[in-house]
Structure 1
Amino acid sequence: MASLASSPVSSAAVAPGRRRGRAAANNVSGRFEKFQRVDLDDGWGSLDELPPFRTEITHEKPRRLITRNDSPDIAFERSINPYRGCEHGCVYCFARPTHAYLGLSPGLDFESRLFVKDGAAEALRRELSAPGYQPKVLAIGTNTDPYQPIEHEHRVMRGILEVLAAANHPVAIVTKSALVLRDLDLLAPMAEKGLVKVALSVTTLDRALARAMEPRATTPARRLEAIEKLTQAGVPTAVMVAPVIPGVTDQEIETILARAFAHGAREAGYILLRLPLETQDLFANWLLEHFPDKYRKVLALLRSTREGKLYDAAWGKRMTGTGPYAWMIGRRFELASEKLGFGKTKIRLRTDLFRPPEGGERQLSLF
């Protein structure tokens, strides 16, 4: 796969009319495919006849729902992803390459060909009811957003929360969607028991930039309103300034933190832009389309934070980067957070209230 990071032109770009409301500019095949698919004009205007990309849903039945990890630089050991792919379409999303495992493109396929985990609540109930299960905080929203637009109809996240609430199981949620407010009837009682916290990810406060970069996510203003309403309902709320994009959004760090604090957030975190595998070409192509004058500068800044590369997956480095520019971003975040009063209290979720769900497939006693 040729790298757009060093080439100013994409030969696989999809016409803007076909990808309206999408962030990725191409739909290059995944890295595991034998053949690369590219739309070519045959001279008869055939590309003009191709339909726009529409969201397609595939239903799958998971046997297990909880994913476990042992990465030393991640604060959680267990997570759940209600969906595969994400209709928010954030061009920078580090989860895009996972679509290649499905034989699909990390480009437009990732944001338009989505997988719904039918029966997720039942699968979770079985896992929580398993003999010897020991509760630990479940993280939801660390890969794809549990409150992406298709959640309105499919309500997979709602079903998962109902199981967790009934079992008094702790959960930490990250989202870019105000749809989380729909579930306040579950989240508020869980918060009273110390079982939940929610983080809203805010990349930029610029509405036009957000529309181009994360086209189907909730607007920045509504994310701040969601922080306020969650806080008013007693739900501990944090803001994630993520990702910080050098030369594009890094100038907003202090403003985002100040606005989020004013709306009630009391914890904060940040992540430097991560561009694994195919996301490098997708992001570079996006830069060429929306910020051609910043193209070389932004990629140069990114390389300065990744030891000359566009990405370094090494533990301890991938979230924050290295070098003077990455150090400056970290110090700015820390100073602004301290000045505003973030992190004075750290919410620890409880595990001692857990009770296995009723109706799960538990092993019966012999006596």
Structure 2
Amino acid sequence: MINKDFIKGRGAQKNTPNKFFQHIYEIREDFLEFCRLEGENAESNKTNYIPIFPKSIVNKVDSPDVGMLYSMNPYQGCEHGCVYCYARNAHEYWGYSAGLDFERKILVKKSAPELLEAKIKHKNWRTKTIVLSGNTDCYQPAEQKFEITRKCLEVFLKYRHPVGIITKNALVLRDLDILKKLNAEGLVGVHISVTSLSEKTRRKLEPRTVSIQKRLETIEKLSENNIPVNAMLAPIIPGINSHELLPLAKTVADHGALSFGFTLVRLNGAIGQIFTDWIHKAMPDKAQKVLNMIQECHGGSLNDSRFGLRNRGEGKIATQIHDMAKLARQRYFKGRTFPTLRTDLHEQFKNGQMRLF
């Protein structure tokens, strides 16, 4: 049974302290009681969009086990509210909490398309795939209002630059016209996140994401248009969705995915506090069991920063999950390959001039 104080429509159930701040902001019980008696809300649950003005937009990824060299994020913070999201910690660098602030205070980078264009036109830039959403989802609800991702895709198309997209939102289909043009020249790959086949689980873990059915339809629609799709079955959380790995793999394969990837959940930084608080409120009957299983996969700790192990995990539970993934690839993805994107076209379009030879 879900705790009666559970905040519906949000993943995190509180704001954790910002590690960079000397002082801690907290709402006291006497203030909450005062608000109750007065019939007022202690704080607003409304999402706020806050414009920011970065000097650059393309980030070099130094982590050796992430699988991308460059990423860019049109938005910081994410209204999807996935309780396990590793990107939550980054919100502290902006002066906010990794908890509810991450979902309620969305930082909007309206200048992203111009910054991207300047970056890939620079004489020193050497073409490498840039991944949209290396941190937060580029097709989160804010995109419907601001259309920054679409404008960035237009820049990638104009300069024939390879781009990867990671999302769990069906809004990506809005830009199918641009994706088809990019794909015609081997310049785009889409990674769709599917965490569970259970709507009940999805609503708890990822409260403001689109339904599982919508994501499967998105994979199918992209595949019908020959746009390569990799399914991200991540994170795998022991005791919550680990039993679904095989059926998840089969289902995304049946809908046209060319490959799949997965990671074991890791709860670094403030996410450990957020997830622990959330699971005791959302799944109190299994909370401690799940936390113990996660710890078993990470050397007895919820917080695991070891490169090579932090996403893979270790121990018996992790080994069983990796064995299931190996079986799934043999059974459902034999003969399928996610393509390598082309990097040889951009140089010709970099300065708007075609080469003669």
TM-score, structure 2 length as denominator?
0.93
Counterpart mapping for 1:33-112 below 5 A = 33-42=21-30, 45-48=33-36, 49-50=40-41, 51-112=43-104
CA distance in 1, matches of 2:65, 2:28: 43
Q: Which residue of 2 aligns with 1:5?
A: none
CA distance in 1, matches of 2:9, 2:61: 34
2:292 to 300, 312, 325: 300
Q: 1:42 to 1:334 in 2, by over 3 A?
A: same
CA distance in 2, matches of 1:319, 1:356: 37
Q: Which residue of 1 aligns with 2:315?
A: 323
Post-superposition offset of 1:209: 1.4
Q: What does the per-residue CA deviation read over 1:12-53, in whole Å, with 9 as the maximum and x for residues that have no partner?
A: x9954xx43111110123111112122113278323312431
1:24 to 8, 12, 16: 12
CA distance in 2, matches of 1:270, 1:80: 21
Q: Which residue of 2 aligns with 1:165?
A: 157
| Structure 2 unpaired stretches of 5+ | 353-357
The aligned length equals 345
CA distance in 2, matches of 1:229, 1:118: 29
Q: 1:47 to 1:330 in 2, by over 3 A?
A: farther
- Secondary structure of 1:239 counterpart: strand
What is the aligned-residue identity percentage?
38
Give the AA of the match of 2:15: N
Post-superposition offset of 1:197: 0.6
Post-superposition offset of 1:101: 1.1
1:264 to 241, 244, 256: 256
Detail structure 1 runs of 4+ shifted over 6 Å in the superposition: none
| Structure 1 unpaired stretches of 5+ | 1-12, 360-367
Q: 1:267 to 1:283 in 2, by over 3 A?
A: same
Contact residue 12 and residue 278 of structure 2 kept, 8 A: yes
Contact residue 232 and residue 262 of structure 2 kept, 8 A: yes
The two structures, once aligned, show a CA RMSD in angstroms of 1.7
Contact residue 230 and residue 338 of structure 2 kept, 8 A: no
Contact residue 16 and residue 273 of structure 2 kept, 8 A: no
Q: 1:358 to 1:116 in 2, by over 3 A?
A: farther
Give the AA of the match of 1:30: N
CA distance in 2, matches of 1:307, 1:44: 39
CA distance in 1, matches of 2:101, 2:349: 38
Post-superposition offset of 1:97: 1.0
Counterpart mapping for 1:120-135 below 5 A = 120-135=112-127
1:180 to 161, 172, 183: 172
Post-superposition offset of 1:205: 1.1
Q: What does the per-residue CA deviation read over 1:72-115, in whole Å, with 9 as the maximum and x for residues that have no partner?
A: 21221111111100000000001111111112111100001010
TM-score, structure 1 length as denominator?
0.90
Q: What does the per-residue CA deviation read over 1:279-326, in whole Å, with 9 as the maximum and x for residues that have no partner?
A: 011111111112111111111111111011112111100111111110
Q: 1:290 to 1:73 in 2, by over 3 A?
A: same
Q: Which residue of 1 aligns with 2:332?
A: 340
Post-superposition offset of 1:119: 1.2
Give the AA of the match of 1:315: F
